[in-house]
Chain A
């Protein structure tokens, strides 16, 4: 494997940090009810921006000191939708948290399965990679696999027959 070129590293770092910053900004808005705009350019000169409630309105507010009339109009427009937005954002946050928890659970499961795989490989030679096996072993494994395939196919047909007869016919688990 070749060494990762620095340019790639930079892009990866940028991506991760940018995402992290946007996440922190979003949290700050939710927790403290403030308005934020962030604009960054990537190493490839592409613009990324985050804004709450909107990037545009914050930028305009900053760049041109508002006259009182336009100020009240924009804030009026903003506030009417603000509560709905807040509820929606809260729901999305809940959904995101749930998904992250589920992902963590699955990752833990992966760890367990990996351990079992390692244990299996050390105890049973046929669970090891096929491309390291000798001819006898692989022929042996082949016969067993073919046998199992036959049984699996048979069982599958059995199940299909049971399904077509309807439930409660044979012992359906």
Chain B
């Protein structure tokens, strides 16, 4: 619409000022009209200028009088609650933008620190270049992640337990006494030695896990190895409709 950004200051050139006034006044009235129609609300606008003896009014002098009468009928507090002038309006906007800015900076900081965390996780770049603040934030993020990891482990173990319930017992007698879900998890038949110091040293392991689908969750097959103590009794318990 505009070719260049207009500086927000009083236009000293008389003709330019008059031209701007005509254009913007028209646009402003149009916007007020749209608001009134679109939202089905009462609205009025009054503009006094040195170019007219009479003020420019929306919707009409009579219509504006009606809206203003409605306005004046409201309690003082209601009237002034959302009343602004230039100064207060600008202060409000500044406050809002300031809050948005703070939040955006906080979010960016978190993303940034997460990136740093992942870099340091695989030993890329030392911790020397980090400030106290950085270290604290990364530490916090690690804690958050560890909490999520803990939750995930719990969930997976619960699911594994459910799987076991659902699977009919087999005649397999290779159980150890009192086998439980935890033990089953450790006895994964996949057979690698999971010895982890840092991620970097386990690159070969990484490649294996590049297709996590095969290793995710617990399939029904592995469950069959497990044996609970007293099958007959437990089976009846697990199959109860009230078992959560």
Classify chain A's interface size.
35 or more
Within 8 A of A (CB), among B62-100: 64-65, 67-68, 70-72, 74, 78-79, 81-87, 89-91, 93-94, 97-98, 100
Find chain A residues with CB under 8 A from B71 CB: 39, 41, 47, 49, 59
Q: How far is the CA of A17 from the CA of B41 in the complex (A)?
A: 12
Q: Is the CB of B48 within 8 A of A47?
A: no
A49:B28 contact, CB within 8 angstroms? no
> Among the listed stretches B131-139, B169-177, B225-233, B235-243, which one makes contact with chain A, having 4 or more residues with CB under 8 Å of it?
B131-139
Known: A28-B21, A43-B40, A103-B104. A145 touches B146 (CB 8 A): yes
Contact in complex: B108, A155 (CB < 8 Å): no
New A-B pairs, 9, CB < 8 Å, besides A35-B47, A41-B70, A55-B85:
A20-B31, A23-B89, A29-B86, A38-B45, A47-B74, A99-B94, A99-B98, A134-B156, A141-B149
Which residues of chain B are near A36, meaning CB under 8 Å?
A: 45-48
Do most interface residues of chain B lie in helix, strand or loop, or is the interface mixed? helix
Inter-chain CA distance A151–B83, complex, in Å, is 56
> Does B179 sit at the interface, judged by CB under 8 A?
no
The interface residues of chain B lying within 8 Å CB-to-CB of A152 are 120, 127, 135, 138-139, 142
**Which A residue sits closest to B118, measured CB to CB?**
A127
Cβ-defined contact, A134 with B217, below 8 A = yes
Q: Are B94 and A49 in contact (CB under 8 A)?
A: no
Q: CB of B162 within 8 A of chain A?
A: no
Q: Decide if A13 is an interface residue (CB 8 Å cutoff).
A: yes
Best-surrounded residue of B17, B41, B128 (most CB of chain A within 10 A):
B41
Q: Which among A17, A125, A144, A163 is the interface contact of B198 at CB below 8 angstroms?
A: A144
**Nearest 4 pairs between A and B by C-beta?**
A134-B216, A92-B90, A40-B43, A113-B111
Residues of chain B within 8 A (CB-CB) of A26 are 86, 89-90
Question: Do B64 and A62 touch across chains, with their CB atoms under 8 A apart?
Answer: yes
**Known: A93-B8, A95-B94. Is A126-B118 also a contact (CB below 8 A)?**
yes
What is the count of residue pairs linking A and B with beta-carbon distances less than 8 angstroms?
Answer: 303
- Chain A's interface: helix, strand, loop or mixed, by majority? helix
Contact of B41 among A40, A137, A146 (CB under 8 A): A40
Residues of B within 8 A of A173 (CB): 128-129
Residue of A nearest to B216 (CB): A134
Please give the distance in Å from B91's CB to the nearest CB on chain A. 7
Asked whether B35 is an interface residue with its Cβ less than 8 Å from the other chain, the reply is yes
A144 pairs with B199, CB closer than 8 A: yes
Instruction: A63 to B61: give the CA distance in the assembly, Å.
Output: 9
Pair B28/A24 contact, Cβ less than 8 Å: yes
Give the interface centre of B39, B64, B138, B139 by most chain A CB atoms within 10 Å: B39
Report the minimum CB–CB distance from A14 to chain B (whole Å). Answer: 5
The one of A22, A28, A93, A113 in contact with B25, judged by C-beta atoms closer than 8 angstroms, is: A28
Residue of B nearest to A48 (CB): B82
Instruction: Check if A131 sits within 8 Å of B130, measured CB to CB.
Output: no
State whether A144 and B196 are in contact (beta carbons under 8 Å apart), knowing that A28-B25, A47-B79, A103-B101 are contacts in the complex.
yes
Some 29 contacts from A to B, beta carbons below 8 A apart, are A14-B41, A17-B34, A21-B28, A27-B8, A28-B25, A29-B86, A31-B11, A33-B17, A34-B21, A34-B48, A34-B50, A39-B43, A47-B74, A49-B79, A52-B86, A89-B87, A92-B94, A114-B111, A125-B210, A133-B152, A134-B156, A134-B216, A135-B215, A137-B215, A140-B209, A144-B121, A144-B198, A152-B127, A163-B132
Q: Is the CB of B8 within 8 A of A31?
A: yes
Which residues of B are found within 8 Å of A97, using beta-carbon distances? Answer: 8
Query: Known interface pairs A32-B11, A36-B47, A41-B42. Does A134 touch B139 (Cβ–Cβ under 8 Å)?
Result: no
Closest residue of chain B to A52 (Cβ to Cβ) is B86
- Closest A-chain residue to B155, C-beta based? A131
Interface string of B178-213 (1 = CB under 8 A from A): 000000010010000010111100100110011010
